[in-house]
C-alpha cells in the first residue's frame, strides 16, 4: 500500500475543475435572469416587500452555484455509481454548505417578519 497521496492530486484537480465549471454556469444563469449588463454594473438591488437588499454579484450567484454544483455532482456520482471518494467528499461539503445556506435563509425570513 502506498503512503503518499500523489494519486489523489489529479482527482482533486478534476473536482476543482468541475466546481469552477459549475461556478461559471451559475454566472451565466444569473446573467440570463437579471441581464449581463446589470451584472457588470455592480451590486444587485433586490426589493422584498418593504425591505431593500443590495448584494454583490458574488453573493447573488452563490445560492445558484450551490444548486448547480449539487446537481452536477450528484449526476456525476450516479453515473460513476458513487465509487469515487472525492465525489463523496464534495457531496459532503455541499451538504454542509446547504445547511449553512438554509440557516441564513431562515434567519433572513425571521428578520423580515
pLDDT tens by residue, 23-56:
999 999 999 998 999 888 888 888 877 778 788 8
Please tell me the least confidently modeled range out of 18-22, 34-38, 43-47, 99-103: 43-47
| pLDDT value at 67 more than 90 | yes
pTM across the whole model: 0.81
Which is higher by pLDDT, 52 or 67?
67
| pLDDT value at 4 more than 80 | no
Tell me how far apart the terminal alpha carbons of the chain are, to the nearest angstrom: 58
Cα distance between residue 100 and residue 87, in whole Å: 20
Amino acid at each position: 500500500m502506498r503512503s503518499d497521496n500523489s494519486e489523489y492530486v489529479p482527482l482533486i484537480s478534476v473536482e476543482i475543475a468541475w466546481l469552477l465549471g459549475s461556478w461559471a454556469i451559475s454566472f451565466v444563469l444569473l446573467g440570463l435572469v437579471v441581464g449581463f449588463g446589470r451584472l457588470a454594473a455592480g451590486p444587485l438591488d433586490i426589493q422584498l416587500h418593504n425591505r431593500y437588499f443590495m448584494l454583490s454579484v458574488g453573493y447573488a450567484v452563490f445560492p445558484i452555484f450551490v444548486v448547480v454544483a449539487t446537481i452536477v455532482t450528484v449526476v456525476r456520482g450516479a453515473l460513476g455509481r458513487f465509487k469515487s471518494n472525492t465525489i463523496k467528499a464534495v457531496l459532503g461539503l455541499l451538504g454542509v454548505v446547504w445547511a449553512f445556506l438554509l440557516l441564513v435563509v431562515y434567519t433572513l425570513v425571521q428578520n423580515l417578519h
